[in-house]
Amino acid sequence: MEIKRRNFLKTSVIGAGALLIKTTGYAKVEELNESVNNIEQTNKTKKQLYNMCGYAAPAIPTVRIGFIGIGSRGSAAVERILHINNTEVAALCDVYEEKINDCREMLMKKKQKKAKEYYGSKDTWKKLCEQKDIDLVYIATPWALHTPMAVYAMECGKHVAVEVPAACTLEECWQLVETSERTKKHCCQLENCCYDFFEIMTTNMAHKGVLGELMHGEGAYIHEILNNIFDRPTGWRWQENRKNGNLYPTHGLGPICWAMNINRGDQMDYLTSMATDDFMMQEKARQLAASNPAFEEAAKIKFRGNLNTSLVRTHKGKTILIQHDISSPRPYSRLHLLSGTKGFVQKYPEPGKIALGHGFVDEATMKQLEEKFTPELVKHISEAAKKVGGHGGMDFIMDWRLMDCLRNGLPLDMDVYDAANWSCITPLSIWSIANRSNSIDVPDFTCGAWKTNTPVDLTLRNGGNTEFIG
Ligand SMILES: NC(=O)c1ccc[n+]([C@@H]2O[C@H](COP(=O)([O-])OP(=O)(O)OC[C@H]3O[C@@H](n4cnc5c(N)ncnc54)[C@H](O)[C@@H]3O)[C@@H](O)[C@H]2O)c1
């Protein structure tokens, strides 16, 4: 297998040419090759410094938070946090001062202490990380900045909550793991979809054995946002979307990994990835270029395929399908499908459905299952979450749970191994696509600890005392 992979690296990746150079997230094709070879070495020799799965940091009764990246996602996070008692918005940072204005006003209206502000340069976030009275750095910037910011924040002694995907390259994934283990600082990837109502309930059902032994899971990011991507042919979203791979895997994958106990009883073994050609994006660019010269360059681009399908096999013989498609005219879907020896669940098209035999259960049984298997933490905070909102409430459940765990010194639901594992799908899929869908090993970021790590605990044991501010 290794010899085959190396041969491919020497031939077909280089043969893939300039497009790959521009679109891998690595500066050059040679870097991608080198990265995969180095990572193979790292995978074999790496030793865990400290197991951050199940790690409980000292309790922080009032969590002081510094936010970096006050765009649409960052400002919504600030607003949500203001609904959680015993938290403090200690600092706000963006390159542009005007991005901070709304949050400054929000704090004033809520009669909160004025946050320290950092703006005016691309590097000013480092000062926020260095600020002494901060416990947690909350990062909602473009993807390429996630790992550098997270690593620096942990080096400065801060816990980190970072938007998805936490890392763009395999090196970044290992960097997060190594830094979190060495500094004993949490690095939590903000995968809100794990907390969506049906997803978290079916995770709980899987853990309780209702679905039997899970054999297969499916997750996806299928969201027609072609017009947003083509808003302007510059900017970070545009650049990121030039890569040819499974570009946004964590929303669909996170809940499946929770249910299947990935990093906590099972581990991904290897991945293969395949993409369609592009049947829409260049055409769109050409149409726009006809009336807007800003799109002339874009019209010449050979875009990546519209639909990516990646498949993972786990060490315990299970499979996970992960799809990505942001251009096809089809309804939104994260698939969320779990298939076990005793049951089956599927969320999309909504509403979610459950089968414990040949047919889906009826409405009354569904209600009973919801009552029985909606985890305690969701029942506790769901009413408040629906009021505050954020993708129907799941964003608030995630933030509240994160604060509750930090305040009570509890392990986080999502640790650095999840951040690395769920993010690494993108660089691995880029490699696989460039190599005729050849398979590639998924690094074990836990260095074998997955065999004894325990499943995520969705109870409120030793916590649940963090108050909602209406
Ligand atoms: N979990 C979810 O449901 C979800 C939804 C949307 C976006 N996201 C993620 O959130 C992140 C942000 O997305 P967004 O839609 O808010 O993007 P955005 O472009 O609206 O916001 C990004 C912000 O980061 C700022 N920024 C850029 N470089 C910076 C730097 N060097 N220092 C400080 N600030 C800097 C920008 O000025 C901007 O205000 C992305 O990683 C995205 O993938 C997650």
Q: Of the residues 190, 211, 226, which one is the last residue of a structural domain?
A: 190
Q: What average pLDDT does this structure show over 14-29?
A: 45
Distance CA 184, CA 167 (A): 19
Coil, helix or strand for 109? helix
Specify whether 35 is located in the same domain as 74.
Answer: no
CA distance 346 to 324: 17
Distance 69 CA to ligand 1 centre (A): 6
Mean pLDDT of the chain: 93
Q: How far apart are CA 147 and CA 277, in angstroms?
A: 30
pLDDT at 255: 98
Q: Which atom of ligand 1 is nearest to the CA of 237?
A: 19
Q: What is the pLDDT of residues 366-400, one digit of tens each?
A: 999 999 999 999 999 999 999 999 999 999 999 99
Angle value at C-alpha 93, between 25 and 165, nearest 5 degrees: 30
Residue 416 domain-assigned (yes or no): yes
The angle subtended at Cα 341 by Cα 337 and Cα 347, nearest 5°, is 15
Assess whether the C-beta atom of 95 lies below 6 angstroms from ligand 1: yes
- Distance (angstroms) between ligand 1 centre and the Cα of 447 equals 31
Q: How far apart are the first and last CA of the chain?
A: 57
CB of 164 shorter than 6 A to ligand 1: yes
Please check whether residues 222 and 348 belong to one and the same domain: yes
Looking at residue 361, its pLDDT comes to 98
Averaged pLDDT, 191-212: 98
181 & 208 share domain: no
- Residue 320 sits in a domain of what CATH number? 3.30.360.10
Q: How far is the CA of 209 from the centre of ligand 1 (A)?
A: 38
The CB of 399 under 6 Å from ligand 1? The reply is no
Q: What CATH number is attached to the domain comprising 145?
A: 3.40.50.720
Identify the pLDDT of residue 17: 38
The phi and psi torsions of 161 (rounded to 5 degrees) equal -120, 120
Measured from the CB, is residue 223 less than 6 Å from ligand 1? no
Residue 241 and residue 110 share a domain: no
Does ligand 1 come within 6 angstroms of the Cβ of 230? no
pLDDT at 26: 60
Q: Which DSSP letter does residue 296 get?
A: T
User: Tens digit of pLDDT for each residue in 105-143?
Assistant: 999 999 999 999 999 999 999 999 999 999 999 999 999
> Which residues span the domain enclosing 224?
193-381+407-451
Judge if the beta carbon of residue 422 lies within 6 A of ligand 1. Answer: no
pLDDT at 143: 96
- Mutating to test ligand 1, I would choose from 94, 231, 399 the residue with most ligand atoms within 8 A of its C-beta, which is 94
pLDDT at 166 over 80: yes
In the prediction, which pLDDT does 7 show?
40
Please write the tens of the pLDDT for every residue from 254-270.
999 999 999 999 999 99
Q: Are residues 166 and 132 in the same domain?
A: yes
Compute the distance from residue 282 Cα to the ligand 1 centre, in Å: 26
Q: Identify whether residues 306 and 168 lie together within a single domain.
A: no
| 225 and 273 together in one domain | yes
Average pLDDT of the residues in 76-92 = 98
Report which protein residue has its CA nearest ligand 1's atom 39. 71
- 129 within ligand 1 shell (Cβ under 6 A): no
- Same domain, yes or no: 277 and 174: no
- Choose the weakest-confidence range: 12-16, 242-246, 258-262, 361-365: 12-16
Q: How far is the CA of 379 from the centre of ligand 1 (A)?
A: 30
Each residue of 216-253: pLDDT tens digit?
999 999 999 999 888 878 788 888 888 899 999 999 99
Q: Is 96 in the pocket of ligand 1 (CB under 6 A)?
A: yes
- 271 membership: H or E segment, kind and range: strand 268-275
Q: Which two three-digit tokens encode residue 456?
A: 């995520």
Supply φ then ψ for residue 394, to 5 degrees. Answer: -65, -30
* Total domains in the fold of the chain: 3
Ligand 1 in contact with 143 (CB < 6 A)?
Answer: yes
Are residues 338 and 429 both part of a single domain?
yes
Query: Residue 438 has what pLDDT?
Result: 94
Q: Is residue 304 part of a domain?
A: yes
CA of 372 to the centre of ligand 1 (A): 37
Q: How far is 32 from 15, CA to CA, in rounded Å? A: 13
Measure the CA–CA gap between 89 and 113, rounded to whole angstroms.
8
Say what the pLDDT of residue 40 is: 83
- Whether 88 is covered by a domain: the verdict is yes
What's the full length of the chain, in residues?
A: 470
Q: Whose CA is nearest to atom 11 of ligand 1?
A: 140
**This prediction's pTM:** 0.94
Domain end, chosen from 190, 208, 241, is at 190
Q: At 174, list the tokens.
A: 């290992």
Say how many Å lie between the CA of residue 229 and the centre of ligand 1.
Answer: 14
Our CA angle for 105, 111, 113, nearest 5°, is 85
In a domain, 392, yes or no: no
pLDDT exceeds cutoff 70 at 78: yes
**Residue 412 pLDDT greater than 60, yes or no:** yes
pLDDT given for residue 3 in this prediction? 35
**Residue 457 falls within a domain, yes or no?**
no
- The residue-averaged pLDDT of 78-105 equals 98
Q: Say whether both 180 and 255 belong to one domain.
A: no
Cβ contact 166:189 at 8 Å = yes
